[in-house]
């Protein structure tokens, strides 16, 4: 064939793969793009769909092979839902209530404490004496050794160490000049996220055991707050740094206190960022597993534990489990769908500044 006999073929190929203008895609790439995106959507939705329909199956429908379509393949029933909500009643609702209380309380606390700290770190210059940090850690080690080896009462040890530390602050600390600045404090707080929780969870367990707080809401709320604090500081720091300082300065001129400025001016200005941070931390707290595994038992059991405990002696009962997964996942998924854009933007700001 000579080249001039196939111009139509070449024209067709060109039309198929070359975009007509900048704002649209040529047919072939467009089909490929949609195919890939739809394929991934199916991968994402398939497991969720399977859980939802399994929750409406009776045991026979699960055991006799895969059925895919309700009303056509199998007759949906509310048996599993009835069992979980009515027959088990409180055994389901109590963990659910625990999860709601722990997640909401710890997230609120983490946002409050974290954003206060982040704001102060952005707006006020700190200088922490290196010497006092070293003395503090030295005293802490002394207290632990004294309690563990000499069997001193821990209240006494803490009181003595506290007095020594205050004495040091009042007298010797002025002699040392070396200090650490704001970025070091920030880095110290944020770097705590690198620490795997399993390193810290044993001592935390022992601590709460000594305080007789194991298996209570307080223990979980305090621990979750501490674990999620670095994320809050990391994200909100950048939100506050983006707020113009003029407004705050003029308010301070008028005699408003730092707290007043924080709560009435700075916080409202970073509202949308705070919402994103709140949702992110809430999701993390809602899904937390390891810490709850160590720190809670029957009373403060949270939903992830209830779900994971379903692997009973009679083998997993998928229909009940699916109901639990659905009621656990549904609220966060709904929230996430509405706030997806905010969360994405919040994460982006965090990742830009790092």
Partner 1 sequence: MTIAVDTKSSAVTSAGFGEWLDRQSGRIMVLPAVLLILSFAVFPLIISAYLSVSRFALAPGGYRLTFVGFFNFDRLLFGAQQYHFVGTFKPFSPIGWIALVAVLAGLLFWFARYVLSGQATILGFVGRLISASVAVAVVLAMLATVFAGGFPGSFVTTLFYVVAGVLVQFLLGLGLALLCAQPIRARNWFRVIFFIPLTVTPVGIAYTFRMLADMQKGPFAPVSGWFGLGEWSWATQPWSARAIILLGDTWQWTPFMFIVLLAAIENQSRDQIEAARLDGAGGLQIFRDVTWPAIAPIAATIVLIRLIEAFKIIDLPNVLTNGGPGLATESMTLHAFIAWRTQDLGGSAAIGYILLFISTVTCVSFFNYVVRRARRYQQ
Integer Cα distance of 176 and 157 in angstroms: 26
Residue 13: closest CA among 27, 1, 24 = 27
DSSP codes joined into one string, 204-232:
HHHHHHHTT-TTSHHHHHHHHHHHHHHHH
Residue with the two structure tokens 């939802």: 52
Q: How many residues does the chain have?
A: 354
Is position 328 an interface residue for partner 1 (rule: CB under 8 A)?
yes
Using the rule CB under 8 A, give the single segment among 2-10, 69-77, 100-108, 321-329 that binds partner 1. 321-329
* Cβ at position 205, least distance to partner 1 in Å: 9
Integer Cα distance of 160 and 240 in angstroms: 39
Using the rule CB under 8 A, give the single segment among 70-78, 90-98, 241-249, 319-327 that binds partner 1. 319-327
* Cβ pair 146, 152 in contact under 8 A: yes
Site for partner 1 in 154-213 (CB under 8 A): 169, 173, 179, 185, 188-189, 192-204, 206-207
* Cβ at position 190, least distance to partner 1 in Å: 10
Site for partner 1 in 42-71 (CB under 8 A): 43-48, 50-51, 54, 62-66, 68
Site for partner 1 in 261-280 (CB under 8 A): 262
Is position 106 an interface residue for partner 1 (rule: CB under 8 A)?
no
Site for partner 1 in 212-251 (CB under 8 A): 222-223, 225-227, 229, 233
* Cβ at position 85, least distance to partner 1 in Å: 18
* Cβ pair 132, 173 in contact under 8 A: yes
**Residues 6 or more apart whose Cβ sits within 8 Å of residue 140:** 161
Is position 335 an interface residue for partner 1 (rule: CB under 8 A)?
yes
Is position 108 an interface residue for partner 1 (rule: CB under 8 A)?
no
Phi and psi at 179, nearest 5°, equal -145, 170
* Cβ at position 228, least distance to partner 1 in Å: 10
């Amino acid at each position: 064939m000579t080249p001039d006999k196939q111009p139509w073929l070449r024209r067709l190929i060109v039309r198929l793969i070359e975009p007509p203008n900048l704002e649209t895609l040529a047919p072939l790439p467009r089909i490929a793009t949609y195919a890939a995106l739809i394929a991934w959507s199916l991968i994402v939705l398939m497991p969720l769909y399977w859980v939802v329909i399994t929750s409406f199956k009776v045991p026979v429908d699960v055991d006799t092979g895969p059925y895919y379509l309700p009303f056509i393949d199998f007759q949906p029933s509310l048996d599993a839902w009835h069992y979980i909500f009515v027959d088990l009643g409180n055994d389901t609702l109590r963990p659910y209530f625990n999860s709601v209380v722990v997640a909401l309380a710890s997230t609120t606390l983490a946002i409050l404490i974290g954003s206060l700290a982040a704001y102060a770190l952005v707006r006020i210059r700190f200088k922490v004496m290196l010497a006092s940090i070293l003395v503090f850690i030295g005293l802490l080690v002394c207290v632990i050794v004294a309690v563990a080896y000499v069997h001193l009462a821990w209240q006494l040890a803490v009181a003595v160490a506290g007095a020594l530390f205050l004495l040091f602050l009042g007298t010797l600390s002025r002699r040392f000049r070396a200090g650490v600045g704001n970025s070091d404090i920030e880095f110290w707080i944020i770097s705590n996220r690198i620490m795997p929780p399993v390193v810290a969870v044993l001592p935390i367990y022992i601590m709460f055991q000594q305080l007789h707080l194991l298996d209570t809401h307080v223990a979980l709320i305090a621990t979750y707050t501490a674990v999620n604090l670095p994320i809050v500081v990391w994200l909100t720091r950048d939100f506050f740094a983006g707020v113009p300082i003029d407004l705050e300065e003029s308010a301070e001129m008028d005699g408003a206190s730092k707290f007043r400025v924080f709560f009435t001016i700075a916080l409202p200005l970073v509202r949308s960022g705070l919402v994103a941070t709140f949702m992110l931390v809430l999701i993390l707290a809602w899904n937390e597993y390891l810490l709850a595994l160590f720190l809670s038992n029957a009373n403060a059991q949270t939903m992830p534990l209830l779900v994971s405990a379903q692997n009973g002696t009679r083998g997993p009962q998928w229909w009940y489990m699916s109901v639990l997964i659905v009621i656990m996942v549904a609220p966060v998924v709904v929230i996430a769908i509405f706030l997806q854009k905010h969360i994405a933007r919040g994460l982006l700001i965090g990742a830009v500044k790092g």
